[in-house]
Structure 1
Amino acid sequence: RAHVETYGLRGGADWHGRDVQLEGDGMRFTAWHEGKVLAVVTTRLPGEHNASNALAALAASVRIGVPISNAVEAIGRFQGVSRRFEIRGQVRGVTLVDDYAHHPAKVRATLQAAQERFHPGRVLACYVPHTFSRTLSLMDAYADAFQGCRLVVLGPIEPARERHLAHTVSSQDLAKRIRGVDEVVVVDSARSAAYKLASVARPGDVIVCMSVRGFDDVVGKTLEVLERSPVA
């Protein structure tokens, strides 16, 4: 039978992260194991979800025999992977972030990380829902996933293997359900999304683009538009 240990930031777990706070562009927390303090851990990645991931990495590393100090050092050096809160560039004071977030929980975590890291700048989101069945079944969860955004731009639903379900739900349906944001628009192309995002952005803002396939490099297109025209 496999040995099981739990981890979390809310207490009650074998591995517990406390005093979670922003540290520069990333996060800092104190790692506890079975009621004892082990180490103060920093990660270069923003958001509580990345602090939780760092705690999991620490637990796994220690369990396979990696010295705690080595594990903490490695976690602190890790700069992330492609399309996981990847900062693609900054133009005229506007930061562009690319992320793989593809369901409501990931969308919410990514946007909360952006709000924390770039406060008091505004968060503008571009999102491409993935598959018709997932969009339809998670519609209620999507409703609150974008709270606090100045703008949400929705692209067409990525059908993947579900083109036969195109009649069941659309991005327009999702737009009607989203709440807690200033503006929601639906576009039919990455180019249209780029122009809309650039027209609203101003210095200090962050644009977070989330999709499975990259939405025809909407991040790159938005950077191009921003470079050619002044921000608001």
Structure 2
Amino acid sequence: MAPGLPTAMDRPHFIGIGGAGMSGIAKILAQRGAKVAGSDAKDSATAEALRALGVTVHIGHAAAHLADDASCVVVSSAIREDNPELLRAAELGIPVVHRSDALAALMDGLRPIAVAGTHGKTTTTSMLAVALTALDREPSYAIGGDLDAPGSNALHGAGEIFVAEADESDRSFHKYAPEVAIILNVELDHHANYASMEEIHASFETFVGRIVPGGTLVISADHEGARELTRRLDGSVRTVTYGESADADVKVLSVVPQGLKSEVTVELDGAPLTFTVSVPGRHYAHNAVAALAAGVALGVPAAELAPALAAYTGVKRRLQLKGEAAGVQVIDSYAHHPTEMTADLEAMRSAAGDARILVVFQPHLFSRTRELGKEMGHALALADASLVLDIYPAREDPIPGVTSELIIEAARAAGADVTAVHDAAEVPAAVAGMAGAGDLVLTMGAGDVTDLGPRILDRLSN
């Protein structure tokens, strides 16, 4: 058993092992020497990447998949109580560990940077992981998305830094004790778990309270929700603000678009510092500045970290180019909240010039659509035309009266060209009928809309 492997997790079984967060923890445990097993609803490239590490991955959920000698069962908040493997664990008396507790245990004894916020966590975590790796710091990391290949969402590194995405959706980020915490923004989301902004702010306050003595909070000076959170803090934690606001500690002086990149200049410790961000848009430039401030807070020299951030060229599903056919580029976006949708569409608009932007949007969750459907529709008005699919339910049951029509009506009221498509199989032909050479097509959403990119490219080719 490798050093640093918690004894209770030397033979873990993961229910839903193919998920972004779960697969990352499973990968790190396997790299530390654990005998890892798990199950997932369907086979995937992520499952294959885990098998390559010696992990046993079962397809489908069945009580028989859980070995009698498993040391624990790891679950996420998405696992239902009637899951047969979870019921079998109760029969056998095997401890059940939440994903966040498992991740917290992996960070123990290291120097954690926990990246939180309603939007931008995966990108910012990835930027830090890539930049620190480029500087030979050999970080460990756990990210909510793949960098460049299936299974690249996590790594057990030999260095002392551990960079982790900290999920607020189910309050699981309360389990971590970071040396440096990043809060990118604070907005109302995850409506099944939070009823108000007051609850959101209280939850983030608890997260800030988990920063270790002598640690640092890096937080946006521009985002109103983040500024309100800063005002509510008691001053016991060292706080570094970043952004374009005049009172920011790390002040963003300029973000200059350069095609699909940006040149960013900040004022840090009274001196200007210019570096390149290899993805387009102001939103991503600010993520890079947050990463820079966090790394500096942990002792990494800014003069080294800033140029290393250019090594980050994107993460899967974050404005990821899927390919080009018939002069049309197809790009995949994970954006599913109105703020994310707006940021990605504005980034593409700044990079696209006169090109038309066509969106295939799949709403994610009934509760989010009920609360934010109008704002999603307004965001789609930034595109030249959009196709809107039915709602991807994920872990939720349908809510009466909540459909994609809420988004479509709001989009049309905002002057958008929007068409409803109820069968995803019709999308490739519909896009081929709309798109012309020079156009950009964005598949957008957190569900399986990402699978449509290759099909659209195939149809365009033919």
TM-score by length of 2: 0.47
**Letter of the 1:24 counterpart:** G
- Identify the residue that residue 66 of structure 1 maps to in structure 2: 300
Q: Give the one of 417, 421, 433 matched to 1:187.
A: 421
Return the match for 1:84 from 302, 306, 318: 318
Counterpart in the other structure of 2:411: 178
- Residue of structure 1 in register with 2:90 after alignment: none
- From the superposition, tell whether residues 77 and 172 of structure 1 become closer, same or farther in structure 2 (CA, over 3 Å): same
The alpha-carbon distance between structure 1 residues 147 and 192, as it changes in their structure 2 partners (threshold 3 A), is same
Paired with 1:134 and 1:57, the residues of 2 have a C-alpha distance of 28
SS, match of residue 157 in structure 1 = coil
2:450 and 2:312 map into 1 onto residues whose CA distance is: 28
Q: Which residue number in structure 1 is paired with residue 453 of structure 2? A: 219
Q: Does 1:52 align with 2:52?
A: no
Q: Which runs of 5+ in 1 are unaligned?
A: none
My pick for the range that moved more, 129-138 or 189-198, is 189-198
| Equivalenced residues, count | 226
CA distance in 2, matches of 1:148, 1:216: 20
Deviations 1:10-40 (A, max 9, x none): 4321111112110231111211135x23410
| 8 Å Cα contact 2:365/2:394 also seen in 1 | yes
Would the alpha carbon gap of residues 37 and 8 (structure 1) be closer, same or farther in structure 2, given more than 3 Å must change?
same
Residue 109 to residue 140, structure 1, CA distance change in 2 (3 Å): same
Choose 71-80 or 142-151, whichever is displaced more. 142-151
Question: Which of 1 and 2 has higher RCO (CA within 8 Å, sep 6+)?
Answer: 1
Q: Residue deviations 1:173-230, cap 9 Å, x none?
A: 21011144552011123221222112111111110111212326111111111011xx
**Contact conserved, 2:374 with 2:407, CA < 8 A, in 1?**
no
Alignment-derived partner of residue 242 in structure 2? 7
> In the alignment, is the contact (CA less than 8 A) between 1:9 and 1:52 conserved in 2?
no
Pick from 331, 353, 370: which aligns with 1:97?
A: 331
Alignment-mate amino acid for residue 120 of structure 1: D
Which residue type is aligned with residue 143 of structure 1?
G
The aligned amino acid for 1:153 is L
Could you tell me which amino acid in structure 2 is paired with residue 94 of structure 1? Answer: V
Q: Which moved more, 1:113-122 or 1:12-21?
A: 12-21
Matched AA of 1:21 = V
Mapped pair 1:146 → 2:146: no
| Residues 199 and 10 of structure 1: CA distance in aligned 2, closer, same or farther (over 3 Å) | farther
Amino acid in structure 1 at the alignment position of 2:401: T
Given candidates 343, 347, 361, the residue that maps to 1:109 is 343
2:359 to 122, 125, 139: 125
TM-score scaled to structure 1, two decimals? 0.91
Report if the CA contact (8 A) 1:149-1:181 is conserved: no
Q: Find out whether 1:21 has 2:256 as its counterpart.
A: yes
TM-align CA RMSD: 1.6
SS for the counterpart of 1:86 is strand
| Aligned mates of 1:217, 1:208 — CA distance in 2 | 12
Q: Give the secondary-structure state (helix, strand or coil) at the position aligned to 1:202.
A: coil
Q: Whole-Å Cα distance in 2 between the matches of residues 108 and 130 of structure 1? A: 16
Residue 52 of structure 1 aligns to which amino acid in structure 2?
H
Question: What SS is found at the alignment partner of 2:448?
Answer: coil
Distance 1:39 1:216 in 2: 37
* More divergent stretch after superposition (177-186 vs 58-67): 177-186
Structure 1 residues 10 and 120, CA gap change in structure 2 (3 angstroms): farther
SS at match of 2:318: coil
Q: 1:123 to 1:170 in 2, by over 3 A?
A: same
Is the 2:444–2:450 contact (alpha carbons within 8 Å) kept by the matching residues of 1?
A: no
| Distance verdict in 2 for CA 1:120–1:195, change over 3 Å | same
Give distance in 1, aligned partners of 2:386 and 2:411: 9
Amino acid at match of 1:8: G
